[in-house]
A and B are shown apart, each in its own frame.
Chain A
Amino acid sequence: MRLKQIFIALLFALVALSSSAYAEGHEATTHQEESAEKKAYQPKSISELASSFWETTGIKAIIDTDDGEMSADPAGESKEHVMSAFESSLGRIIMILIVFTLFYLAIAKGFEPLLLIPIAFGGLLANIPLAHMAGPEGMLGVIYNMGIANEFFPLLIFMGVGAMTDFGPLLANPKTALLGGAAQFGIFGSLVGAAALGFDLQDASAISIIGGADGPTSIFIANRLAPDMLGAIAVAAYSYMALVPVIQPPIMRALTTKEERQIKMGVQRPVHRLEKLIFPIIVLMLSIMVLPESTPLIGAFAFGNFAKESGVVDRLSDTMQNSLINTVTIFLGLGVGSKLAADKFLVLESLGIMVIGLLAFSAGTAMGVLMAKLMNKFSKEPINPLIGAAGVSAVPMSARVVSKVGSEEKPGNILLMHAMGPNVAGVIGSAVAAGVLLSIFK
């Protein structure tokens, strides 16, 4: 029901966007012609008109590799450069094909469509020749400068995620929070990998945060530490989050025995309402004391959660978890998509980022599972090692994957709530890890 509504809303948004995109491009070209005509109007023969029209078509812009077209960068003129032959022709075509692949993954395979569709469509728009939609005056550039360049949108998203998160399962079994810590090994393990590959430390840190499996955190950190790689990092983070159901299960199965996967976990104790209410305050207080650097993220998250648990501002929390986060998701997706322009994305670093991102994700999953195995050995109550995999954040995707794998092994074994504990702890863990990385480069 709600999904359907969201889908319809998105559809409308897309229609609106594509029509506004059309209008914008159309306006730009007529505007150009007008100003050219005003300067020196000469009577033109029909063949001249036709040839000058040909000059402004996209086909010509793509075929003609040597037209000296400028790249579009939201930061303005200082960062723009003349596009190379590859960037302005074949590169665009490759990027458009990549975008269609993302469409396919989102629609046919159902991989995080809420994010991949806006991102991919933004990528499509950013690769339109001559329209300069990703430039400071273009729609995508405006969106980018409005909320991504200044880290505003990721924080709004975090607020919404906070308002959607139920810490009940974590409070019922607090020990599982440590699993969310173990999975952060994905970040720091891949940091070593990235450094070994020759990225400098600051870039390596920005890339490795992909292992936190948390889109907003990745964007936040990338923006601070390596803004040039933001597009590739965000796309890698969101694509791997979308690929959680593909990446995680083989790792989970490889590291556990059949008996371990069949472990049943007990019923969770009921959680007092006060505990839930105080929890966001505790998290915020701890992070104020230990890591003020990470408080923008944790603060927004705690605010959203506190508004939800307070129970007296349902209207606000409802807005945060529905209309606000949906609106921001559209903007965030399109803004990130603007970094899918050929001249930004088709660089060698992107390949490295994709490889390291995958490594980070796998390492995080593996470490979470191993830690859960260890805890199972020493804990009084049985712990199914599968729930360790949910320690990478990716809420609630990875908890669902854990639950699915668990019920495949033993029908009726429902691990979802148990996996939600490490899952939400993973969100806190990756925000803390992000704060540590920021503090290093302060």
Chain B
Amino acid sequence: MADVNDVNNVVEALKFMVLGMGVVFLFLFVLVKVVELQAKLIAKYFPENAPQTPAVPAVNVTEDENRRVAAIIAAVTEFRNKKS
């Protein structure tokens, strides 16, 4: 990093930018494609059926619980806001 190439640093940084953004996009693009493929394969070979049903009530319970908690939080916030 000699001080001679002060301008070069910016050029180097631009090169880093091209490389970096390229790799990030490529990585995410491949990831998107793989995930889409995965979704298709899973939908084909493991359709949502029997093994999924026992899990459904459990999910609903937690969701209900979440909703209840959300409602309680909302009520409390409302109450506090009115108070202040």
A residues near B, CB below 8 A? Answer: 1, 170-171, 174-175, 177-178, 180-181, 184-185, 187-189, 191-192, 194-196, 198, 200-202, 204-205, 270, 272-275, 278-279, 282-283, 286-287, 290-291, 425, 428-429, 432-433, 436-437, 440
Contacts and interface: CB of A to CB of B under 8 A. Distances in A.
A178 B38 CA distance: 18
Interface string B22-54: 011111111110111011001100101000100
A410 to B, nearest CB: 20
A275 B43 CA distance: 10
Contacts of A171: 35, 39
Given A274-B46, A436-B20, A192 B10 contact: yes
A188 B42 CA distance: 37
Interface of B: 1, 6, 9-10, 12-14, 16-17, 19-21, 23-32, 34-36, 38-39, 42-43, 46, 48, 52, 55, 69
Given A1-B69, A200-B9, A436-B20, A286 B27 contact: yes
Contact of B16 (A191, A200, A283): A191
Contacts of A279: 35, 38
B65 to A, nearest CB: 12
B77 to A, nearest CB: 12
Contacts of A202: 1
B36 A174 contact: yes
A198 B24 contact: no
27 contacts: A170-B35, A171-B39, A174-B36, A178-B25, A178-B28, A180-B28, A188-B16, A191-B16, A191-B17, A192-B14, A195-B10, A195-B12, A201-B1, A201-B9, A201-B13, A201-B16, A270-B48, A272-B43, A273-B52, A286-B27, A428-B28, A429-B28, A433-B20, A436-B19, A436-B24, A437-B20, A440-B19
Chief secondary structure at chain B's binding surface: helix
A230 B37 CA distance: 41
A437 to B, nearest CB: 7
A23 B36 CA distance: 58
Contacts of B29: 178, 181
A279 B34 CA distance: 9
- 5 A-B pairs with least C-beta separation: A188-B17, A195-B13, A195-B9, A192-B13, A181-B28
A159 B36 CA distance: 25
Contacts of B26: 290
A184 B21 contact: yes
A270 B69 CA distance: 23
Contact of B21 (A188, A195, A274): A188
A278 B20 contact: no
Contacts of B17: 188-189, 191-192
A184 B20 contact: yes
Nearest to B22: A436
Nearest to A204: B13
A6 to B, nearest CB: 15
A177 B27 CA distance: 10
Nearest to A283: B31
Name the residue among B17, B30, B69 with the largest chain A CB count within 10 angstroms: B17
A168 to B, nearest CB: 12
Contacts of A180: 28
Contacts of A188: 13, 16-17, 20-21
Contacts of A1: 69
A437 B19 CA distance: 10
B31 A437 contact: no
Given A274-B42, A436-B19, A282 B31 contact: yes
Contacts of B24: 181, 184, 429, 432-433, 436
Contacts of A191: 13, 16-17, 20
A179 B16 CA distance: 20
A178 B32 contact: yes
Nearest to A178: B28
A440 B15 CA distance: 11
A273 B55 contact: yes
Contacts of B16: 188, 191, 201, 205, 436-437, 440
